[in-house]
A and B are shown apart, each in its own frame.
Chain A
Amino acid sequence: MKPASNAMIDGLKSQYFDLDEVGDAQEFYHSRGWTDGFPIVPPTPEAVQACLDWVNMPANEIIGIEPVRERAIDAEKLAINAVMAGCLPVHFPAVVSAWMAMLKDEFLLHGTTASTGGCAILLILNGSIRQEIGARSDFNVLGSSDRATSVIGRAIRLALINILQVSPGAIDRSTLGHPGKISYCVAEDEEGSDWSSLAESRDIPKEASAVTVLAAGAPRQIMNEWTSKPEEILDTYAAEMRANMRNYSIWSGNYVVIMPLQHREHMRVAGWGRKEIANYLFEKARIKRSEWSTVGKGSVVRDKGDTEYCALPSPEHLLLVAAGGPAGGFGAVIPPWLGTKSQAVTVAIGACIDCEPPSPKQIK
């Protein structure tokens, strides 16, 4: 290997290394703690520049600033990590937009990535970009469903590790973590659903692609194949939300419900849409603090046993996602990291509505 240098490469300012063999790259990156343990794609200047060209961003474009530690995130470093994760240029816009969302104050990125609670950052994709990148929304949707969602989710984690030092034992103080911390990205099945998309329900225009980010626990899978009544199906989802409130965290926040086709079909036949489902779960996903005593947490009930807690601060806090394979009465509840301390953020992909400071004329 030749000595490292910081010389300019086609506008890129990152330090570069000339390795003698292509095969050296894996151990070079692993040995420096720059991976998640899986092999990476060597981030060559050409591959990185191709990602930047795709989003039409200069290398030094500031995507945002992590507000607690005041660290600027620039496009070049994101592109390097995206390439390492396996992203093609076409995947990069989703990575950039997800980071823009993660850097909003209300997301509390530092807290979510440092917490012992061990949440991951879940991405939910909406709009035409899903088809452009070949994201799948059906079989194995919470697993390795397709290349696009796998590499986009992984790019988020590698960038956290490398740009913000969110590696285990450094900033990341997770007691357990969960497999979503490798990659956690889902595309909504908009074509297989007669609902408006999740992004539309969060005020993104129908024509725009969007990404929603949430600091999220692991999926909790449920099963109910023995009824077609919406109330009974949703009672199972609500029970899982209540279980999470008892066993993990009682605080209300953005809960994700992943609803595959079989359950959605029962909803459709009964005329239940997003609003009806959210209203029902808002009413049903509630526990009293006294229920803590049934799961070994009686010592913190104190004199508040009759206080009622709702999983959702409002029905609008439910993130209902149509996704999953066509057969099976399954579904999943994905709980928030910690109530409303971190809030879900949705941004349009490739749109920049308020990223420039207002002109003097606008201020007047």
Chain B
Amino acid sequence: MTIRVLNPTSESVIATLNPAPRLTSLEGKTVGLISNGKEGTAGFFAHVDKLLRERYRVAEVVLRIKSNYSAPAEDEIIDEAKNWDLAISGLGD
């Protein structure tokens, strides 16, 4: 006997975003770091900051820390990110 059954997963088509144009060089650029603020991130992002400045000759590194590490970044951080050439996020636990 055949049986008809249904798909339990979301079948919604999720809108995708186009990635921003890739940078060819970091030299002279402004890079934003969005930290989740966890204990281990201080040393990690300090090192990333150092590498960006020394190895890639980045002009400025801006560190912003989310108030809730399990929630999205605040609107103020997202607004500020519009002034950056590059943002690094999603790291640090």
Contacts and interface: CB of A to CB of B under 8 A. Distances in A.
Interface of A: 2, 4, 6, 9, 12, 14-22, 24-25, 28-29, 34, 42-45, 48, 68, 71-72, 77, 80-81, 84, 108, 110-112, 114-116, 158-159, 162-165, 300, 338, 341-342
A31 to B, nearest CB: 13
A8 to B, nearest CB: 12
Given A14-B6, A17-B4, A342-B70, 13 more contacts: A2-B2, A25-B3, A43-B5, A44-B5, A68-B72, A80-B7, A81-B8, A111-B68, A111-B70, A116-B93, A162-B9, A162-B10, A163-B10
Contacts of B39: 300
A81 B4 CA distance: 15
Given A108-B71, A111-B71, A338-B70, A19 B8 contact: no
Given A18-B3, A19-B2, A22-B1, A84 B70 contact: no
B14 to A, nearest CB: 8
A15 B9 CA distance: 9
A163 B7 CA distance: 10
A16 B4 contact: yes
Nearest to B7: A15
Nearest to A159: B8
A14 B2 contact: no
Nearest to A73: B10
A21 B6 contact: no
B10 A16 contact: no
B24 interface: no
B12 interface: yes
Interface of B: 1-12, 14, 39, 68, 70-72, 93
Contacts of A338: 70
B60 to A, nearest CB: 29
Contacts of A6: 11
Contact of B6 (A2, A44, A72, A164): A44
Contacts of B1: 21-22
- Contact residues of B: prevailing secondary structure: loop
A42 B70 contact: no
Contacts of A29: 5, 8
28 contacts: A4-B7, A9-B4, A9-B6, A14-B8, A14-B11, A16-B7, A17-B7, A18-B2, A18-B3, A19-B2, A19-B5, A21-B3, A25-B5, A29-B5, A43-B5, A43-B6, A44-B3, A44-B4, A44-B6, A71-B10, A71-B14, A77-B9, A80-B6, A110-B70, A111-B68, A163-B9, A164-B10, A165-B10
Listed residue (B3, B6, B14, B68) with the most chain A CB atoms within 10 angstroms of its CB: B6
A19 B4 CA distance: 6
A228 B39 CA distance: 43
A235 to B, nearest CB: 32
Nearest to A115: B70
Nearest 3 A/B pairs, CB to CB = A111-B70, A15-B7, A162-B8
A9 B70 CA distance: 39
B8 A43 contact: yes
A42 B10 contact: no
A42 B3 contact: yes
A14 B70 contact: no
Contacts of B10: 71, 77, 162-165
A9 B7 CA distance: 13
Contacts of A342: 70
A221 B57 CA distance: 56
A158 B8 CA distance: 9
B9 to A, nearest CB: 5
A44 B4 CA distance: 6
Contact of A341 (B3, B70, B93): B70
A34 B8 contact: yes
A45 B8 CA distance: 12
Nearest to B11: A15
B71 A68 contact: yes
A81 B68 CA distance: 31
Nearest to B39: A300
Given A15-B11, A108-B71, A22 B6 contact: no
Given A111-B70, A116-B93, A15 B4 contact: no
